[in-house]
Amino acid sequence: MSKAPHVRTAAATWESLFRAQVAVMRRLNEAPAFRQVGVSHKVSVKEYDVLFTLSRCPEGWLRLHEINDRVLLSQSSLSRLVERLQNRGLIERQTAPDDGRGILIRLTPEGRAVQKEIGRAHVRDIAAVVGPALSEDEMADLMRLTEKLRQGLGHPE
Amino acid sequence: MSKAPHVRTAAATWESLFRAQVAVMRRLNEAPAFRQVGVSHKVSVKEYDVLFTLSRCPEGWLRLHEINDRVLLSQSSLSRLVERLQNRGLIERQTAPDDGRGILIRLTPEGRAVQKEIGRAHVRDIAAVVGPALSEDEMADLMRLTEKLRQGLGHPE
DNA sequence: TGAAATTAGATGCAAATGCATATAATTTGA
DNA sequence: TCAAATTATATGCATTTGCATCTAATTTCA
């Protein structure tokens, strides 16, 4: 009899988190960075997410499946998204030296420049969307809780 | 000179929220409810989200654009998703009596039954994924903050 | 009031996505 | 050690998605 309320709390919490994410994402999709307002390249949110992930690994290369852990895309979709980014000259590939099955990805100089340019506009958009809703302290709390959530996830079934 | 840190905090907060959402959603996608384990219907997360939204409005009907506010889908994609749900007999439509442009949607009895069945499994999945990560109090805090976030969003540009 | 602007939803079409599966490399274990 | 299982990525193909646009209905306001 003590589990049921916890189950309901978890469901309500996820529902609230998910709706907030949908609402924020919808606005960001319509915001300057991804409407190509004041930026010179057209990049979708998912494409940007890959560029951003790569930008956080400045020295080196990332494996495809490492990127896949951070993005909500199937393996095959990511494979093709990366292919498109390569065709546009924003990333480059290399077969993994220590594992012939794998490939390594990194930003090209142009890809890095594009990520930075869009990133700056995106950060402004985020501040404009999220900033008005929460105080600095609330943001810190929210960050801490979502970080803890991500790190503590359980396994269903 | 006091705005820059706030901008960075907002960006970091959104990043953390978004990554948590991706991580949770990935697990939920692979969990029993949407793997059709122990449930008799195959419904995608987005389809379920529409059924769930409709289930929260038990007496009546919802306008298409009202549903669209809650789901991360373009208007045209939702239009077709709803068409598919109708073809499967899970929802029914009616032109809006007070506005000839609009249509009203509601669950059929079967749609309601399917939502309930999947919903029960989904709630179990959520509890299994989110439950281990946070205490009851932390979930309550997270719910409060995401609710406040959703309600206080600003407009970019 | 009535023409122009706006809003709701549908649809053609190209692009993106996911599932199932293929290929190739690595790891495991009898 | 080598056959079987596993892992990493790619690809064929059907489905889903979004953009642009269309139609129809409503609202605005001169």
What pLDDT is attached to residue B34? 92
> In the structure, what pLDDT confidence band is assigned to residue A10 with cuts at 50, 70 and 90?
very high
Handedness of CA B62, B63, B69, B74 (dihedral sign): positive
Residues 6+ apart with CB under 8 A from B33: B39, B48, B118, B121, B122, B124, B125
What mean pLDDT value characterizes chain B? 93
pLDDT number for residue A39: 83
Q: Which helix (H) or strand (E) holds A94?
A: strand A91-95
Model pLDDT for residues B87-141, shown as the tens digit of each residue: 999 999 999 999 999 999 999 999 999 999 999 999 999 999 999 999 999 999 9
A101 in reach of chain B (CB within 8 A): no
What is the rounded average pLDDT of the residues A111-121?
95
Q: Is the pLDDT of residue B4 over 70?
A: no
Q: What is the pLDDT of residue A36?
A: 83
* pTM for the predicted model, two decimal places: 0.93
Among residues B11, B154, B133, the alpha carbon closest in space to that of A139 is found at B11
Does residue A4 belong to the interface with chain B, where contact is any CB pair within 8 Å? no
Q: Is the model's pLDDT at A1 over the cut of 70? A: no
Going by C-alpha positions, the residue among A62, A114, A119 that lies closest to residue A85 is A114
Distance (Å, whole) CA B49 – CA A19: 11
Q: Which nucleotides of D are covered by protein (CB under 7 A)?
A: 7-12, 16-21, 24-27
Instruction: Encode pLDDT of A27-44 as tens digits.
Output: 999 999 998 888 888 999
Q: Per-residue pLDDT averaged across B38-49, rounded? A: 90
- Residue A48: pLDDT above 80? yes
CA distance A43 to B121: 37
| Closest Cβ opposite residue B156 in set A16, A31, A155 | A31
**Tens digits of residue pLDDT in A123-155:** 999 999 999 999 999 999 999 999 999 999 988
Can you say whether the dihedral through the CA atoms of B150, A137, A72, A61 is positive or negative? positive
State yes or no: pLDDT of B2 exceeds 80: no
Residue A132 is nearest to which of B134, B145, B154, comparing CB atoms?
B154
For the cut 80, the answer to whether the pLDDT of residue A58 exceeds it is no
The mean per-residue pLDDT over the stretch A106-118 comes to: 96
Question: What pLDDT was estimated at residue A2?
Answer: 53
